[in-house]
Homo-oligomer: A and B are copies of this chain.
């Protein structure tokens, strides 16, 4: 059983502790609600910096924050670390492996997960990058393969260990490609003098005809130029059709040997059994909500953040699936729940940005298109202030200063969390 005490206040169950979930919980915690926050992890993760964990530039703990610490002062917030297996909207209850729980209002904020578009081969063989454990797996694989490359005399086999293919030219793909190119340039010659870093190829395949489709043409062009200057082999209009774990095959017949293919080609809603998602192509399997965040036709159930699909006049295909939308939606929903009113959601676009490497970023702030050093500084600043926790801000800042001045991340360690079975077998 979930063991939530009885309360005279309305019980709001929030599923998911991403940007939407924790912002909503924080706002409701100060009012007369009983809040139950359910997540499968005991921490909030700052997704925009996951790629830096994968690249050994930041430690996991710097970009995550323990949920219990976040809500230490909010005695009306009850945190349960478990998964949600089913929602019964008629009985107004949520099922978990620990038991079921009744809700007065339910908020689904489960975010998005990697979309392999039904391809099992990609799902099995590629590296996605949507969670902390996935970014650690990628880090371990990159470092382990470099070790193996050292003792591999055959050129083709060695290529398999050191070449990396990134599928998807959105922010994740672009930022990863840039970081990998810098690792090749600054780290490899120092750490692996026995390897010829010129043998390392970094491919970035984009299905569309430009990078960073959500941003301006200027940003796309600049990102392409920055990456090419760093030596990344960017190929536009390139589709991957097969990957057996060793060879990547593209639609136009190219075949590349690579043990690591990073899948950053799409996301879809992290849906829950019991509530029907909408999987029409442009909707990406999300929950359709009205402008008050209410799920259509289901009483007292709301969805916010990446999982919510709210088409509007300005955004006929829903809002972009980014942190700002999640934060603003959770604020609006909190307002409506607290005031018992119906204020429609209006998204205020603060702009978007992507970093490519040292001193190199692109940013669209309204009509202003920036690129280069100042865009990069802005990127650093915005990400730093968005991080949860003062200590995290300090530690990430110190790490960045360190990495920037020494041209050298110092976290290139292969850590296996070890015999999990022991912990889980009981």
Check if A417 sits within 8 Å of B133, measured CB to CB. Answer: yes
A243 within 8 Å of B (CB atoms):
no
- Could you tell me the distance in whole angstroms from the C-beta of A17 to the nearest C-beta in chain B? 12
Check if B42 sits within 8 Å of A192, measured CB to CB. Answer: no
Q: Which of A247-285 contact B (CB under 8 A)?
A: 259
A127 within 8 Å of B (CB atoms):
yes
Q: A137-B423, A415-B60 are in contact. Are A66 and B391 (CB under 8 A)?
A: no
Check if A43 sits within 8 Å of B413, measured CB to CB. Answer: yes
Task: Give chain B residues whose Cβ lies under 8 Å from the Cβ of A152.
Answer: 3
Set B1, B246, B411, B419: member contacting A137, Cβ < 8 A: B419
Check if B1 sits within 8 Å of A153, measured CB to CB. Answer: yes
Count copies of this chain in the complex. Answer: 2
Q: Which of A135-172 contact B (CB under 8 A)?
A: 136-137, 140-141, 143-144, 147, 150-153
- Could you tell me the distance in whole angstroms from the C-beta of A131 to the nearest C-beta in chain B? 7
A311 within 8 Å of B (CB atoms):
no
**Stretch of A68-76, A87-95, A110-118, A217-225 on the interface side:** A68-76
Interface hub of A140, A152, A423 (most chain B Cβ within 10 A): A423
A228 within 8 Å of B (CB atoms):
no
- Could you tell me the distance in whole angstroms from the C-beta of A4 to the nearest C-beta in chain B? 9
Contact string, A184-225, partner B, CB cutoff 8 A, digits 1/0?
Answer: 000000111110000000000000000000000000000000
Q: Which of A94-127 contact B (CB under 8 A)?
A: 98-99, 125, 127
Closest to A424 in B: B144
Task: Give chain B residues whose Cβ lies under 8 Å from the Cβ of A191.
Answer: 66, 68-69, 72
Complexed CA–CA distance, A24 and B294 (Å): 66
A339 within 8 Å of B (CB atoms):
no
Complexed CA–CA distance, A411 and B411 (Å): 17
- Could you tell me the distance in whole angstroms from the C-beta of A126 to the nearest C-beta in chain B? 9
- Could you tell me the distance in whole angstroms from the C-beta of A75 to the nearest C-beta in chain B? 6
- Could you tell me the distance in whole angstroms from the C-beta of A408 to the nearest C-beta in chain B? 7
Complexed CA–CA distance, A411 and B68 (Å): 11
Task: Give chain B residues whose Cβ lies under 8 Å from the Cβ of A127.
Answer: 422
Check if A417 sits within 8 Å of B419, measured CB to CB. Answer: no
Task: Give chain B residues whose Cβ lies under 8 Å from the Cβ of A132.
Answer: 415, 418
Check if A69 sits within 8 Å of B151, measured CB to CB. Answer: no
A410 within 8 Å of B (CB atoms):
yes
Set B65, B75, B136, B389: member contacting A193, Cβ < 8 A: B75
Check if A389 sits within 8 Å of B410, measured CB to CB. Answer: yes
Q: A191-B69, A420-B140, A423-B137 are in contact. Are A60 and B147 (CB under 8 A)?
A: no
- Could you tell me the distance in whole angstroms from the C-beta of A350 to the nearest C-beta in chain B? 28
Complexed CA–CA distance, A5 and B150 (Å): 12
Check if A2 sits within 8 Å of B245, measured CB to CB. Answer: no
Q: A133-B418, A136-B417, A395-B395 are in contact. Are A66 and B193 (CB under 8 A)?
A: no
5 A-B pairs (CB sep. < 8 Å): A1-B151, A42-B414, A134-B418, A246-B426, A417-B417
Q: What is the interface of chain A, defined by CB distance below 8 A to chain B?
A: 1-3, 5, 41-43, 59-61, 64-66, 68-69, 72, 75, 78, 80-81, 98-99, 125, 127, 131-134, 136-137, 140-141, 143-144, 147, 150-153, 190-194, 245-246, 259, 389, 391, 394-395, 398, 402, 408, 410-420, 422-426
| 7 further contact pairs, Cβ within 8 A, besides A42-B414, A389-B410 | A1-B151, A3-B153, A64-B415, A66-B413, A81-B414, A137-B419, A245-B426
